[in-house]
Structure 1
Amino acid sequence: MIVVTAAGGQTGTAVVRALRARGEQVRAVVSRRGPRPELTGLGAEVVVAELTQPMPWADILAGADAMYLIWPNFDPDEAEGARALFGEARRSGVPRVVYHSVLRPQARVMPHHAAKDRAEEALDASGLSWRVLQPCAYAQNFDDQLPQVAATGRLRSPWGLRTAQSLVDLADVAEAAAVLLTEDGLDGGTFEAVGPEPLTAPRLAELIGARLEREVTVEDVVPRGEVPQAYAARCRRLMFDHYRAHGFTGSPRTLTALLGRPPRTYAAHLAELEIPA
């Protein structure tokens, strides 16, 4: 049985789906009570637990063969909270922990990357058998914008027009997570999950335009004003500032090796979507 935290989010649900496709039993940890058809429909056992609150994690981790630790996005408690959860896993005798990190966590100009870097450091010192997955930005990050793009013919880019991102399909990330959670011979490894090609915003517009069968142009949304002080807003602003200056790309070879095939392209992701006009 495998415990997946933050299972109600898009990443957690995708990981649960990938594990269930392999026939694994899954205990899906969510933060709030209420119906979870996206998880129960997959056959997962759903339990409620708040990652940042003291509670009897021994009950949640009882009988676990592995834990996949996803921390909610842009949460200021991640570094210390992850350290505490690693301690709970060690005391409960969890045989394997996989931490969902980010590509280049050492880029500490971005606070949420710095938090993951500190969490990785804590994991290395935890006494656990561990693996780390470091995904790039998701192909799905642009999906919510696509109906507006279809209506207006404009794609908004807060990270400029020049630098690129190696967008990775979330399904590939989830499949890689399932490999790390279930297969032997990978302990102590840090694995990048990067899409197959670097994509600038103009190239994304070209691909989206081909899918929509209309011309799509890019609007460079340049941030204005000072960097916000609120943690989540600060993280987003500094992230896009970093992407604008340096891009966010990497090599797909590690993910190719984990999957046993090349990662899916952004065009393949677009081809599967129903985009309302």
Structure 2
Amino acid sequence: MIVVTAAAGQTGTAVVRALRSRGETVRAVVSRREPRPELVALGAEVAVAELTQPLPWSDVLTGADALYLIWPNFDPDEADGARALFGEARRAGVPRVVYHSVLRPQARAMPHHAAKDRAEEALDAAGLAWRVLQPCAYAQNLDDQLADVAATGRLRSPWGLRTGQSLVDLADVAEAAAVLLTEDGLDGGTFEAAGPEPLSAPRLAELIGARLGRDVTAEDVLPRGEVPASYAARCRRLMFDHYRAHGFAGSPRVLTALLGRPPRGYPEHLAGLELP
């Protein structure tokens, strides 16, 4: 049985789906007691536990063959909370822990990357058999904008027009996570998950325009005002500032090796969507 945290989010649900497609038994951990039809439909056992409250975790981890630790985005408690959960996993005797990190966690200009870097350091010292998955930004991150793009012909880019991102399809990330959770010979490994090529906003606009059958122009969305004080807003602002200056690109070769095939490109992602 494999435990997946933050299972109600898009990443957690995708990982549950990938594991169930392999016939694995999954305990999907959510933070609130409410209906979870998408997880029930996948055949997962749904459990309720707060990531920052360690007391119930001995029950949640009972009988687990592996733990996939996803921490919610832009949460200031991630570094310390992940360390505590690794301790719970060790005490429960979980044979394998996989941590969902991020590409280049050492880029400390982005606080949420720095938190994952500290969590990786804690995992290495936790006395566990572990693996780490480091995905790039998801292709799905642009999906909510596509209806507006279809209507206006403009793709808004908060990371500017010059640098590229190696957008990775979430389904490929989830499949790679399933490999790390179920296959032997990978302990102590840190695995990048990047899409097949870096794409600038103008190139993304071109690809989206081809899919929509209309001209699309990338529009630079410059940040306004000071860096926000709240943690989540500050993380987002500094993340896009970093992307604007340096891009967010990686090599697809590690993900290709995990999947046994090349990762999906952005045109393949678009082809699977119902667009206006």
Structure-2-length-normalised TM-score = 0.99
Which string of whole-angstrom CA distances, capped at 9 and with x for unpartnered residues, describes residues 101-145 of structure 1?
A: 000000001000000000000000000000000000000000000
Query: 2:233 & 2:136 partners in 1: Cα distance?
Result: 20
Matched residue, 1:156: 156
Deviation of 1:275 (Å): 1.5
Matched residue, 1:172: 172
Matched AA of 2:159: W
Matched residue, 2:147: 147
Which string of whole-angstrom CA distances, capped at 9 and with x for unpartnered residues, describes residues 167-207 of structure 1?
A: 00000000000000000000000000000011000000000
Q: Does 1:94 align with 2:94?
A: yes
Matched residue, 1:233: 233
Matched residue, 2:104: 104
Calculate the aligned-residue CA RMSD, in Å. 0.5
Query: 1:48 & 1:197 partners in 2: Cα distance?
Result: 39
Q: Which is further off, 48-57 or 25-34?
A: 48-57
Which string of whole-angstrom CA distances, capped at 9 and with x for unpartnered residues, describes residues 222-252 of structure 1?
A: 0011100100000000000000000000100
List alignment gaps of at least 5 residues for structure 2: none
Query: 1:269 & 1:275 partners in 2: Cα distance?
Result: 12
Once the two structures are superposed, the pairs formed by residues 115-264 of structure 1 within 5 Å of their partners are 115-264=115-264
Q: Does 1:48 align with 2:60?
A: no
Query: 2:207 & 2:50 partners in 1: Cα distance?
Result: 40
Deviation of 1:150 (Å): 0.4
Q: Which runs of 4+ in 1 moved over 4 A?
A: none
List alignment gaps of at least 5 residues for structure 1: none
8 Å Cα contact 2:54/2:88 also seen in 1: no
Query: 2:56 & 2:225 partners in 1: Cα distance?
Result: 44
Matched AA of 2:107: A
Query: 1:54 & 1:174 partners in 2: Cα distance?
Result: 26
Matched AA of 1:52: T
Query: 2:56 & 2:191 partners in 1: Cα distance?
Result: 31
Query: 1:253 & 1:23 partners in 2: Cα distance?
Result: 27
Structure-1-length-normalised TM-score = 0.99
Query: 1:196 & 1:138 partners in 2: Cα distance?
Result: 12
8 Å Cα contact 2:15/2:177 also seen in 1: yes
Matched residue, 2:65: 65
Matched AA of 1:142: L
